[in-house]
Structure 1
Amino acid sequence: MSLLIGHNQSALNIQRQLFSSTTRLDQSFERLSSGFRINSAADDAAGLQIADRLQSDVISTRQVVRNLNDGIGYAQIAEGALDEVSTASQRMRQLAVQAQNGIHSDSDRQALDKEFQQLKKEIDRIANETEAFGRHPLLSPTALLFGNNSPDNVTLGSGQQIVNNLPFSGSGNDFYFIPANSENIRFTFDSYGLDDDIHLFSTSGEHLAGVEVPAAGDPLADFNWQDLGLDLSNIDSAFLTTSNGFSSGASYDASNINAASAVGTSLTYSGDGDLNNDGLINSGETVIEVITLTGTTNQDIILAVSGQSSGSAYQGQISWDRLGGVASAAIQEAEFAAENPEKDVKITTSAAINAPQDYHEIAKTPATAADLGLTGLSLSTQQQAEVALNALSEAIDDIGEKRAGYGAVQNAMQSNLRNLSIRVENTRAAQSQIMDTDYASETATLAKNQIIQQASHSLLSQANQRPEIALSLLNG
């Protein structure tokens, strides 16, 4: 055996081994205390990348599960409301069958009609009050902005048009409803050369903008009102009626016409059409009428089109902006529906990385009396009861189809929920295989490294004694 004084090679080797075992021991402590096999990219670079991707998939999928539960809730609320609409429609049909029976007198049918009309109002109330997550599944986009008096062929969206190119029916008037808290609304109106006008009214009858209704017999009466046979003597009973959207007892008041008035916002009106009162818009007269509301309205407003009693046609445009702040909830939803005309709600069904997005799409199911074709129905006569019976049969079929659609989408989302739950479970298991500590294996490794460390300490002590042996030989 040789004894080298300059270098204690054995001690150096043991020190290296001791450092290595200590490092492994520290790693075991970290893995056992954290529960993760990979605590930094240095532990397993490729494994960390794969595990992070799996973790992102798990997190996103769990959010998709919550989204689907929200979507199921939305569909359940809408379908539950449609169930009540169906119940009301079934009762209305029962009343129509009863009224159709020839044994009843007209007074009997009048009694039946009272309940019939009340049920019709209840259908509208359900449709208007059904709300889920800030949305109104039983209202069409036009009903959101114009209420029950919305036209059939209105398209909404900032800068888009309201168009009606057909002759007016009856009195020649159309009425549209604008809810309170609407912002920065502009109406532009073209009567195609005829003396048709637009007006803004409060529901109580205050004339906010437009051409003032003249006194009875006034020779300067606007041709528009004159042709309709309307003046101050009959405007309340023939124009400001509940069927046109006005409050009961509404009375004409033009004291603040074309001024800021009680709208709660600034109002401007330009163009009063037929300046020489001949029923036509001629050269030099104003063809286009514009009403602008700047700011936020504080009350419900009715936009009225007063047109000539026959042959009238018009084109109007509505627009709004967000310059004054966030638009009202009705306008926001109407605007969204206009931008997404076919589908109202899109529920995320997949959020996998590097995969295309997928959705369950839930269409609006308008279910007001107008949407179901129930407006104008009556049980006053046997013939009217027969018409009502046929209309209600179609309405009940329509409601059933809409409810079936909600049922189908609920089942689809429930199936997707089950599939995603299994996916999360399996993905989490795969991630665990990569990331999590194997405690049985790691505990054995810890014990091994602890023995090696203790042995290294002992051997290092012995190796450090070897120079002392060399000195004892010199002393001997």
Structure 2
Amino acid sequence: MSRINTNIGALQAQHRLNYNQADLSTRLQRLSTGLKINAGKDAPAGLIASETLRSEIAGITQAVDNSQRANNVINTAEGSLSEVSSLLLEVQSLTNQAANSGALSPQEIAANQLQVDAILNSVNRISNTTQFNGVKLLNGGLDYTLSGVVSADIDIATVNAAKIPDNGAITVAVQVTASAQLGKITYTASGIGGSPTTIEIAGNIGTEQLSFAASAQNSAISFAINQLKESTGVSASVVAGDLEIYSTAYGSTQFVSVKTITGTFTTGKDFGADAAVTINGSAASVEGKVATVRTGDLDITLDLDAAFAQNTATGITSFNITGGGAKFQLGERVERQGQVNIGISSVATTKLGNATVGYLSSLASDGANSLVGGNTIQAQKILDASIKQVAEIRGRLGAFQKNVVETNVNSLNVALENVTAAQSQIRDADFAAETASLTRAQILVQANTSVLAQANASPQNVLSLLG
């Protein structure tokens, strides 16, 4: 070919040189960044998939951090609750010792009372000062707020966990479908017959024998049984002339037993029955008149009023959970299923115990159940309720920590490994392949440069025709 205005060979060499230089630049970029996809043009579909996976990785990583932070919060609360539990056990020991009043002087009981007062102050201090990052944990600030609770229907409402909608509330509907029952035995005669009679009364607390003279009336028998109800768990009353003997508590585990030892009287044993209750349409687990429901959205325990628990005709009530609780974001996405809520009630002495038996604060020197006042049996009941209450809070927090937080961290770490591996497969550069491609591109660029030089020199051959 003897044309010199257009050098087709040089154009072809330039085209291939530009292509190979671009390929060389790509290989150098990938090796310098470690990424196979540095811009959308590198792999549009791959970039979309990679960005989605990167979003998941960011969410999972933060969820792991959130879970570890939640674990720290629970550890802080658990440490303080453990100390409260130890203090209550010390009060238990002091109360037991003070009850031995026949062997203790008034001065010793007063000294015990001083220790109890100091312990109660310590419990209140722990309740008011335990905090994590400025948030009080045990003063009731993380307990749930209720509205519309009808005291004639529900004696005690305890919300352990509830997923409350943002800026919303939860309505809790309660319905009694079968009545709670006491164990009951009826004596239909008007009293003891013509001969003295001895009977044995037994209940869940204990057993006692009672002896009655001939012709004793049912009112006298009822009075005698009621005098011992703290020892037996059995009460009595006269209804339409009949003597009704019944357990003092409701439920299938509660019973009353009457046995005639001598003379003529009724004999028998009867157990109570648990109420049947639905809460928000879910069948509750019921012990006596205490109903509990545990679902993913609601964990609640209700101590129903006795009259309400026996009223299946109009046994319907409702109330609202308007706020409170601690919300932990444990999922990779901010959505309802990724959030876990738990309530932490106050452990102040005015909150430990309940309205039925009394509150721990009443054990102080000026309280109705102080040691110096001598009402140690009632003090024991309050302590039992308080110790159980703290133990239940610790148990719930421990279950939340072990079965929710820790398992969530383990699950998220596995997910993080797999999602990161998938993202790496799409986006990260394969250094072995890229190094080989770099070497090929370098050789081609060098070869193209040499070929271009030769192509540029080709037209010079035309000069030999002019000679």
Task: Output the TM-score relative to the length of structure 1.
Answer: 0.56
Question: Match for 1:376 among 357, 362, 366?
Answer: 362
2:114 alignment partner in structure 1: 114
Partner Cα separation in structure 2 for residue 358 and residue 35 of structure 1: 34
- Which runs of 5 or more residues in structure 1 are unaligned? 144-153, 166-337
Matched, 1:440 2:432: yes
The answer to whether the Cα contact below 8 Å between 1:3 and 1:470 also exists between their aligned partners in 2 is yes
- Counterpart of 1:88? 87
Q: How far apart are the structure 2 equivalents of 1:121 and 1:340?
A: 29
**Hey, what's the Cα distance between the residues in 2 that align with 1:8 and 1:131?**
83
| Aligned-partner Cα distance in 2 for 1:465–1:356 | 74
Q: 382, 388, 393: which is aligned to 1:391?
A: 382
Q: Does residue 351 in structure 1 map to residue 332 in structure 2?
A: yes
**Which whole-Å CA distance do the structure 1 matches of 2:373 and 2:4 have between them?**
126
The question of whether the paired residues in 1 share the 8 Å contact of 2:328 and 2:341 is answered with yes
Residue in structure 2 matching 1:360, options 340, 344, 350: 340
The aligned residue for residue 79 of structure 1 is 78
Matches within 5 A, 1:27-426: 27-101=26-100, 102-141=102-141, 339-341=322-324, 344-352=325-333, 357-372=337-352, 373-377=359-363, 378-382=370-374, 384-411=375-402, 412-426=404-418
Query: Residue 467 of structure 1 aligns to which amino acid in structure 2?
Result: P
Tell me, in whole angstroms, the C-alpha distance in 1 between the residues paired with 2:121 and 2:58: 46
**CA displacement at 1:438 relative to structure 2:** 0.9
Range that drifts further, 55-64 or 41-50 = 55-64
User: How far 1:142 sits from its partner (Å)?
Assistant: 11
Give the SS at the match of 2:341. Answer: strand
Structure 2: distance between partners of 1:112 and 1:61: 54
Distance 1:142 1:22, change over 3 A: closer
What do the CA deviations read for 1:228-273 (whole angstroms, capped 9, x no partner)? xxxxxxxxxxxxxxxxxxxxxxxxxxxxxxxxxxxxxxxxxxxxxx
C-alpha contact 1:138 1:366 (8 A) present in aligned 2: yes
> What corresponds to 2:422 in structure 1?
430
- List per-residue Cα deviations over 1:369-400 (Å, max 9, x = no partner): 11112121211144x11111121011111111
- CA deviations 1:193-239 (Å, max 9, x no partner) are xxxxxxxxxxxxxxxxxxxxxxxxxxxxxxxxxxxxxxxxxxxxxxx
Is contact 1:348–1:357 with CA below 8 Å preserved after alignment? no
- 1:307 is matched with none
Amino acid at match of 1:92: V
How big is the shift at 1:141?
Answer: 4.2
Deviation at 1:6, TM superposition (A): 3.8
Aligned-partner residue type, residue 104 of structure 1:
L
Query: How many angstroms apart in 2 are the aligned matches of 1:458 and 1:135?
Result: 74
What letter matches 2:127 in structure 1? A
Task: Give 1:351 shift.
Answer: 2.2
Distance 1:435 1:141 in 2: 47
Alignment correspondent of 1:262: none
Distance 1:155 1:429, change over 3 A: closer
Contact 1:360 1:413 in 2 (8 A): no
SS of the residue 2:132 aligns to? coil
Aligned alpha-carbon RMSD (Å): 2.7
Aligned counterparts of 1:130 and 1:78: Cα–Cα separation in 2: 7
Corresponding residue pairs, total: 286
CA distance in 2, matches of 1:141, 1:15: 76
1:407-457 superposed Cα distances (whole Å, 9 cap, x missing partner): 111112111112212222222221111111111101111111111111111
Q: CA deviation at 1:458?
A: 1.1
Q: Measure how far apart 1:358 and its partner are.
A: 1.1
Q: 1:155 to 1:340 in 2, by over 3 A?
A: closer
In structure 2, what is the Cα distance between the partners aligned to 1:140 and 1:37? 54
For the residues of structure 2 that align with 1:418 and 1:49, how far apart are their CA atoms? 28
8 Å contact from structure 2 (residues 54, 423) kept in 1: yes
* Alpha-carbon distance between aligned partners in 2 of 1:356 and 1:99, rounded to the nearest angstrom: 52
Which residue of structure 1 lines up, in the alignment, with residue 19 of structure 2?
20
User: Secondary structure of the equivalent of 1:84?
Assistant: helix
Cα distance in 2, alignment partners of residues 155 and 31 from structure 1: 57
AA paired with 1:438? D
Q: As a proportion of its length, which structure holds more strand?
A: 2
Q: Could you tell me how far 1:339 is from its partner in structure 2?
A: 4.8
Distance in 2 between residues matched to 1:78 and 1:14, nearest whole Å: 75
Q: Secondary structure at the match of 2:328?
A: strand
SS at match of 1:361: strand
What whole-Å deviation, never above 9, does each CA across 1:31-64 have from its counterpart, x for those lacking one? 1111111111111111111111211221222122
Q: Do 2:95 and 2:371's aligned partners in 1 also have CA atoms closer than 8 Å?
A: yes
Structure 2, unaligned stretches of length 5 or more?
153-320, 353-358, 364-369
Q: How many percent of aligned residue pairs carry the same amino acid? A: 32
List per-residue Cα deviations over 1:343-376 (Å, max 9, x = no partner).
x2111111248x7551222212210111112121
Whether contact under 8 Å (2:360, 2:382) holds in the other structure is yes
Secondary structure at the residue paired with 1:465?
helix
Cα distance, 1:10 vs structure 2: 1.4
Code of the residue aligned with 2:339 in structure 1: it is Y
Q: Aligned to 2:452, which of 448, 452, 460? A: 460
Q: Is the 8 A contact 1:348 1:360 kept in 2?
A: yes
Aligned with 2:131: secondary structure?
coil
Task: Return the alpha-carbon distance in structure 1 between the equivalents of residues 49 and 322 of structure 2.
Answer: 39
TM-score (norm: length of structure 2): 0.57
Amino acid in the other structure paired with 2:15: R
